[in-house]
Structure 1
Amino acid sequence: MTELANRSLDRGITILESLARNGASSLADLHRDCDIAKSTIRRLLGTLIEHRLVRRSVSDGLYRVTIALPAGANEPIPQEMASLTDVAMPRAVELTKEVEWPSDVHVLDGLCMRIVDSTRPLSPFHMYRGIINRRINMFGSATGMACLAVRTDSEIAEYDRLTAGNMSIGLSRFGYTLKQFMPEIEKARARGYGIRLGVYRGETMLDDGLAAIAVPINVYGQPNAAISMIWPRAFQEPEEFAKRHLKPLEEAARRIAEDLVTLFPQDAEPARRT
């Protein structure tokens, strides 16, 4: 290996360590922390992105690691889901260009949903920006409802058991029992998409004022992610909104699932094990 190659490798590792230590960072943040020229950082980030070690979020334009590193301050998305984000966001951008309303992409991460990116900055309709990597209650969110609705009753009961009493990610947050919640699942199954639970007002301190519809994304046959479309709650009821926008949302989810199989077949087995 040449001295130049060694130096490039060393600087690339320095960038990864900075991202792991500090979390989501801008080019200026990396320049300050790493003391590397911005032009060099841009070139190295391009290589790291190409190899799917780093990604740049559409939502806020910041760079994030997509792998688990010992110094990580922020939790990366599950490694087998990195390809999902690569594929889903171009389709989500296409969808926003078509319908103008923004979309979020969420992954099922253990006992909650997690937002991995959003097209909210690309929409002409300005709304509260979702925070990348934020944990989302699966029982209250439209994306969580979409993923739960295509699972069995026993699987849903197990999620409830594992989150029992948790005022952040469990049904206890809404004062619901599983028996009270299951009719909402049946409604979601009947209409074919998820909406927010009536008492759910987002993950912000104040009501975010938003409504959403969502459909699951089959990640190699498993409903481990979902894509939503968002609008101000006062604008329209979900049923009316879905009449116009459900089909393009479903089409985006279908294309994402197909693209995953076509572009990243090597990730199929790890995803099936989650």
Structure 2
Amino acid sequence: MSSSVERALRILVELASGPATISDLGRRLDVHRTTSLRLLRTLEEERFVRRMEDGRYRIGPRMTSLAQVALEGLDVRAAAAGHLRELGTACGHTVHLAAREGRAMVYLDKVESSHAVRMYSRIGAPAPLHATGVGKAVLAAMPQDERDGLLGEPPYDRCTPNTRTTREELAADLAEVADRGWALDDFEHEEFIHCVAAPIRDAAGTVTAAVSVSAPNMVLDRPQLLDLVRPLQRTAAAISEELGWSPDVSGSGAH
């Protein structure tokens, strides 16, 4: 990369954190003031930066529009693919990516377990919001009225003896999910399968998808499953970052 292009990109990165003067940029980038001025004028001509009345420079309208186009073109499945594979390789268990579509979660991608005993699931198949880890990870981030509208009137469908079928049971569970930042499917969807799930946020901080690690209880016990929460959360955060999310910008926290 040429030095001019590199410096121009560094200027844009610096201005992304807020307006700055020519002198400010020169000090931060360790370049002469005349070099900063030359690059800023070129960027201003192309509308990547704009000079304010007080002499400082800020990000310009062309940069903003390009960022918007880039974010709109992001595909959660494409953004997540590499991270799902890394998590699956590291833990050896089934990894799912799912997103909410209407009143259900739909599996978008899957990394198979390396164990002989596996769970059955199919990409494109729907799953209930209230009885899955991925569903609860999404529900926990919703306002109560939106959540109630999606779930309808209780009792909710019972998938196993452990399924939360009352509004009170599910609300208490979701409050814990929101507080700790991850969800547990405690054999609520399938009797012998448990999982942990973490929410995925888009650039606006909205949770519409989640990633999970699932395993039969004969392969992975509860303590071993909970040991996977940290790497799972790191994976969810990495995917969210690919989608343009930043806790510093969104202010929504890491949950």
Residue pair 2:103, 2:151 contacting (<8 A) in 1 also: no
**In the alignment, which residue of structure 2 is the partner of 1:265?**
none
Change (3 A) 1:146 1:210: same
**In the alignment, which residue of structure 1 is the partner of 2:212?**
228
Task: Output the amino acid matched with 1:177.
Answer: T
1:212 to 185, 188, 195: 195
**Superposition RMSD on alpha carbons, in Å?**
2.6
**In the alignment, which residue of structure 2 is the partner of 1:106?**
98
CA–CA distance in structure 2, aligned partners of residues 124 and 240 of structure 1 = 15
Structure 1 residue runs without a partner (length 5+)? 1-79, 202-206, 263-274
Identity %: 19
Change (3 A) 1:112 1:216: same
**In the alignment, which residue of structure 2 is the partner of 1:146?**
137
Aligned-partner SS, 1:116: strand
Matched, 1:158 2:149: yes
- Quote how far apart the aligned CAs of 1:82 are: 7.3
Change (3 A) 1:150 1:239: farther
CA–CA distance in structure 2, aligned partners of residues 91 and 82 of structure 1 = 15
Aligned-partner SS, 1:171: coil
Task: Give CA-to-partner distance per residue, 1:82-117, whole Å, 9 cap, x none.
Answer: 711111121100111122222000011111100011
**In the alignment, which residue of structure 2 is the partner of 1:130?**
121
Task: Output the amino acid matched with 1:184.
Answer: D
Aligned-partner SS, 2:228: helix
Task: Output the amino acid matched with 1:194.
Answer: A
**In the alignment, which residue of structure 1 is the partner of 2:169?**
180
CA–CA distance in structure 2, aligned partners of residues 257 and 228 of structure 1 = 14
Q: Which has the larger radius of gyration?
A: 2
Task: Output the amino acid matched with 2:232.
Answer: L
CA–CA distance in structure 1, aligned partners of residues 182 and 87 of structure 2 = 17
Matched, 1:246 2:229: yes
Structure 2 residue runs without a partner (length 5+)? 1-71, 246-255
Task: Output the amino acid matched with 1:213.
Answer: V
CA–CA distance in structure 1, aligned partners of residues 127 and 142 of structure 2 = 18
Task: Give CA-to-partner distance per residue, 1:143-162, whole Å, 9 cap, x none.
Answer: 0011111222222222223x
Change (3 A) 1:175 1:127: closer
Aligned-partner SS, 1:172: coil
Change (3 A) 1:175 1:95: closer
Matched, 1:97 2:80: no
- Quote how far apart the aligned CAs of 1:197 are: 5.2
Write the mapping of 1:31-46 to structure 2, written as runs, cut at 5 A: none
Q: Give the paired residue count.
A: 169
